[in-house]
């Protein structure tokens, strides 16, 4: 469904009942990357997977975007859906938005899942690549992002063994509005450094890496997890960047165990002594 918030129309898939779990997608993707999590987790939780402004079915931005603005959209969506507090999950770009959300409104989140993401901003080279990507998106359309990203999202073995997964990924990426991806590339190029935020995170946190992820390598993710008090860190074997789609069973198992433990912890917290 679409919701009118912050002067724009945002799409959100909202399924299941119970404690809300908000899942934020990566680039150049949309809520469809969470299909397996949506099916599995919605048996016990209310799972919400929005499309960022300008991506998937959400309307295009009319002014430049920042990660803070994507985060403000999510907060406005939570207000509109009357969700006071949720578990927050962010994959890659979704992780950058999760950091922005924790900076803006940490009191709105009771647990955190960070998958294949990193807290540091881009260096000079990375920023240059993003701006070149923005130019290619104008020239070639969404195919520019698809061609650059597809080889990095899953392992070579998965490319060979799971042609249907590759086809569904192409369908998602080819349907992305190029202009929305330009906004996202520029926003990511100028994102804030979130390293200082890590020691201030005070909710149960699960960090998931892919063994062969070159975009957010396991050692970078391990050092991120080490800086978040009490965070659980897991590496999914034989997986590259897109762990929720490439290894959905392993991913969902980690998330379900974490959500169960996080809810027990919050019950302990609430029970009178
Ligand atoms: C993503 O998967 O969202 C992107 O790899 C993020 C990035 O390019 O930094």
Atom of ligand 1 nearest to the CA of 242: 2
Q: How far apart are CA 93 and CA 115, in angstroms?
A: 10
Decide if 241 contacts 216 (C-beta within 8 A). yes
| pLDDT tens, residue by residue, 189-232 | 999 999 999 999 999 999 999 999 999 999 999 999 999 999 99
Tell me which of 24, 25, 27 to substitute to probe ligand 1's pocket, judged by most ligand atoms within 8 Å of the beta carbon: 27
Q: How far is the CA of 92 from the centre of ligand 1 (A)?
A: 5
User: Helix 143-153 crosses helix 178-189 at what angle (to 10 degrees)?
Assistant: 60
| pLDDT tens, residue by residue, 115-149 | 999 999 999 999 999 999 999 999 999 999 999 99
Q: What is the token pair recorded at 88? A: 């927050």
- The reply to whether the predicted model has a pTM over 0.90 is yes
What ipTM goes with this model? 0.96
Q: How far is the CA of 270 from the centre of ligand 1 (A)?
A: 37
Atom of ligand 1 nearest to the CA of 27: 3
Q: How far apart are CA 153 and CA 245, in angstroms?
A: 9
Atom of ligand 1 nearest to the CA of 188: 9
The torsion defined by the Cα of 242, 192, 31 and 105, in degrees rounded to 10, comes to 130
| Prior bond of 28 cis (ω within 30°) | yes
Pocket of ligand 1 (CB under 6 A): 26-27, 92-93, 188, 215
What's the pLDDT at 255?
Answer: 98
Q: How far is the CA of 198 from the centre of ligand 1 (A)?
A: 19
What's the pLDDT at 267?
Answer: 60
The secondary element (H helix, E strand) that includes residue 216 is: none
């Amino acid at each position: 469904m679409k919701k009118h918030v912050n002067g724009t129309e945002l799409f959100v898939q909202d399924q299941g009942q119970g404690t809300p779990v908000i899942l934020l997608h990566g680039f150049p993707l949309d809520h469809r990357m969470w299909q397996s999590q949506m099916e599995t987790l919605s048996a016990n939780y209310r799972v919400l997977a929005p499309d960022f402004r300008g991506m998937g079915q959400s309307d295009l931005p009319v002014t430049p975007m920042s990660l803070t603005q994507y985060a403000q959209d999510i907060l406005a969506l939570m207000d509109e859906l009357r969700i006071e507090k949720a578990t927050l999950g962010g994959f890659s770009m979704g992780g950058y938005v999760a950091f922005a959300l924790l900076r803006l409104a940490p009191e709105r989140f009771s647990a955190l899942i960070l998958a294949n993401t990193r807290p540091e901003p881009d260096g000079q080279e990375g920023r240059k690549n993003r701006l070149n990507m923005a130019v290619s998106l104008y020239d070639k359309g969404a195919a520019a992002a698809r061609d650059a990203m597809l080889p990095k999202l899953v392992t070579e073995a998965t490319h060979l063994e799971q042609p249907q997964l590759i086809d569904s990924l192409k369908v998602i990426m080819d349907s992305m509005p190029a202009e929305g991806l330009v906004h996202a590339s520029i926003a990511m190029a100028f994102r804030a450094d979130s390293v200082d935020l890590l020691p201030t995170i005070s909710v149960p946190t699960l960090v998931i890496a892919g063994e062969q992820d070159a975009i957010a390598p396991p050692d970078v993710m391990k050092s991120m997890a080490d800086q978040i008090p009490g965070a659980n860190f897991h590496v999914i074997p034989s997986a590259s960047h897109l762990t929720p789609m490439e290894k959905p069973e392993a991913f969902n198992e980690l998330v379900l165990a974490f959500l169960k433990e996080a809810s027990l912890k919050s019950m302990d917290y609430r029970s009178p002594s």
